[in-house]
Chain A
Amino acid sequence: MSVKYTPVQWNRNKWIYDGVMLAGVAAFLWIFLYITPEVLSYEPAINPQIHNARAFGACAFVMLTIILCIGPAARLNRRFLPLLYNRRHFGVMTTFVAITHAGYILNWYFAFSSSNKYVGLLYANSSFGQIAGFPFELFGIFALICLLVLATTSHDFWLKFLTPPVWKRLHYLIYAAYFSVAAHISLGILQDQQNHVFTAMFLVGAAAVIVLHLAAWWSERGDAAARDGAWIKVARPEAFREGFAKITRLPNGDRVAVYLMEGQLSAISNACAHQNGPLGEGRVIDCLVTCPWHGFQYDVRSGRSPAPFTEMVPTYRLRLEDGVVEVHPDANPPGTYVDPLPLPEATPLPQGEPA
């Protein structure tokens, strides 16, 4: 929420979120870095630098896999929404872990040479024409650049400045990054490792990401198809529930959230001004529509956040025609007050049905 920008906005839930995330990451790294060399007890041991690089690389992969599972899991089951709430901190942490992995690699495999280590990284292996032996480091570099772009543009300023659609498009890079990580692993460590446990864990992680995303995509694919005509049908009045919304898709692809509050209907854009979260999947709390993602709130009649916040979303006009609620697809400029549409006092049940 706006007012004045601060470096990081904290609240109790974010502290708990970050605490749990850091505890998990610390446990992974501490066990990998300090416990497993003792267990392995190879003589002579794996180089500490290589061991560390593997620990941070594996950790970054696991973190990225978890992060990518959160989104579709929350779409499929709303109980996972709290994991989405502070996912940005998880992402930034992943970037730090990935940078550490890159640092160990760069300062070990590409150091001690007469050439600059960055130049060495790019030219030492130039077997671009083959799959086995391809410089898989490039996939890692690309993924790291994607993660860096995502992490460095995670502050709310960027959302407002770039606008949520541009920001979201930029952050779709995560899918390219995850593919790139999969390629980095497939053409790198998986070519060498004789023990296949890591291979199996990698496959399970990547499969989870793929299955969850495809399932989430499939589940919302059936949303209303585009319809023509000036006014768009939403639903019959009895279909609405106090404090909740029905979402309707307009012919141009935009979505409208039609809320019932205190017996009256109002329509606002379904896209939250913050991250374009689905406002229609939220609910009314204290007379304000509350976004399910980060809790941004709006007055459903004007699309304005309560003072001192300044966020606004577009509103829409509604009418009742032949017993059906309809919305006009032309949006009003954000923050435009629209008189709510009162529902008929008692909606009679259709004739012939038992009460």
Chain B
Amino acid sequence: MSDKPFFVGYLPVPGPLRIFLLSVCVVLIGGLAAAGYIMGVTQDDPGPGAFRFDYGRQTVTGVVEMTPYPVIHVTKGNDRIKPGDSFMMTAGGKSGVDSRAMPLNGQLAEVSGIILERGDLYMMQLRGGRNGLKAAEGDAPEIVAEPQGRWQLTGEICDGKCLAGAMRPGRGLAHKACANLCLLGDVPPIFVSSQPVLGEEFLLVTGPDGTRLPRAAYDYVAQFITAEGEITRRGDLLVWEIDTDTIKVTP
């Protein structure tokens, strides 16, 4: 050991050690650059969800229904949103529009905001206050709920807003805390089914008998689960009343 070069921090580096250290420097910088590239380019595709600012602000009229998450069944649409469509609504950030929608339950209302879209799923982020949601003139047609029976489904509970494109990626366990925070803020929860059920991949998921998603289900958010519950068609939306006692994590 004795004849090997001895490095002292505040003295010039001994000659034979210089080449070694120079190669270490090159390997270090090159290695970090390569690691940055490889780790960066191997990220997964976050999927097709996004805010559609390119569509511009959308304003339509329809019947408000608390499922208990607020849904609107369109009666007077526009170029993009047709009468007969049904969609969920949220406010800006991680909050829902429950307090604004509740007084208008079963009534005709005009909603205005930006669309979030992921495949068949879309949702509207309403403008603030009465600009986003206000009562409209006219008689509201009655919305008939059509029970579709009890189903066992496999898939993942997500928060509807992040899933629809507010966050990319907006699902999965790394995103679970964010999803829970959205659900706690009254953003509607969505169940992503492993395969289409009654033609739909995405279902609004609630507790039994018109209650909110039970807190017991929050532990399973973002995990892949199997569970049972009644499906009801409301407008063109499917609502799944999940029975939390039947939730099982898939292998």
Closest residue on chain B to residue A37 by CB atoms? B40
- The answer to the question of B73 belonging to the interface, with a C-beta cut-off of 8 Å to chain A, is no
- For chain B residues 38-74, which have a beta carbon within 8 Å of chain A? 38-46, 48-50
Per-residue contact bits, chain A 28-69, to B (CB 8 Å; 1 contact, 0 not):
111111011101101011110011001100110010001000
Q: How far is the CA of A58 from the CA of B37 in the complex (A)?
A: 11
Instruction: Tell me, in angstroms, the Cα distance from A283 to B167 when the chains sit together.
Output: 59
Contact B2 A191 (CB under 8 A): no
What are the interface flags for B15-54 relative to A under an 8 Å C-beta threshold, 1 for contact and 0 otherwise?
Answer: 0010011001100110111011111111111101110000
From A47, A55, A83, B40 is in contact (CB under 8 Å) with: A55
- Against B, the Cβ 8 Å flags (1 = close, 0 = not) of A281-315 are 01101000010101100000000000000000000
**Which one of B105-113, B172-180, B197-205 is at the A interface?**
B172-180
B44: which of A20, A44, A194 is its contact (CB, 8 Å)? A194
A14–B44 CB distance below 8 A: no
A-B contact list, 17 entries, CB within 8 Å: A20-B25, A21-B28, A31-B36, A32-B36, A36-B40, A39-B40, A42-B45, A80-B24, A81-B7, A82-B17, A82-B21, A109-B178, A110-B181, A111-B93, A121-B177, A195-B44, A285-B6
CA–CA, A40 and B173, complex, Å: 22
Binding site for A on B (CB under 8 A): 1-2, 4-13, 17, 20-21, 24-25, 28-29, 31-33, 35-46, 48-50, 92-95, 165, 167-169, 172-178, 180-182, 184-185, 218-223, 249
Q: How far is the CA of A25 from the CA of B41 in the complex (A)?
A: 17
Q: Which residues of A contact B9 (CB under 8 A)?
A: 11, 13-14, 82, 85-86, 294-295
Min C-beta distance of B223 to chain A, whole Å: 5
Min CB–CB distance B218 → chain A (angstroms): 7
| A82-B7 contact, Cβ under 8 Å, with A27-B33, A45-B168 | yes
Complex contacts, A46 vs chain B, CB 8 Å: 43, 46, 168-169
Q: Which residues of chain A have a CB within 8 Å of any CB of chain B?
A: 11-14, 20-21, 23-25, 27-33, 35-37, 39-40, 42, 44-47, 50-51, 54-55, 58-59, 62, 66, 78-83, 85-86, 108-115, 120-121, 124-127, 129-130, 132-133, 135-137, 187-189, 191-195, 197-198, 201, 241, 243-244, 282-283, 285, 290, 292, 294-295
Which residues does chain A contribute within 8 Å of B49, judged by CB atoms? 44
Which residues from A are CB-within-8-Å of B176? 125, 127, 133
**In the bound complex, CA of A78 to CA of B46 (Å):** 46
Q: What are the residues of chain A within 8 A of B1 when measuring CB–CB?
A: 78
Q: Which 7 residue pairs across A and B have the least CB separation, nearest first?
A: A36-B40, A112-B93, A28-B36, A24-B32, A192-B172, A27-B33, A197-B42
Write out the residue numbers on chain B whose beta carbons fall within 8 Å of the beta carbon of A124. Answer: 177-178, 180-181, 184
Query: Is A191's CB under 8 angstroms from B173's CB?
Result: yes
When the two chains form their complex, are residues A78 and B4 in contact, meaning their CB atoms are under 8 A apart? Answer: yes
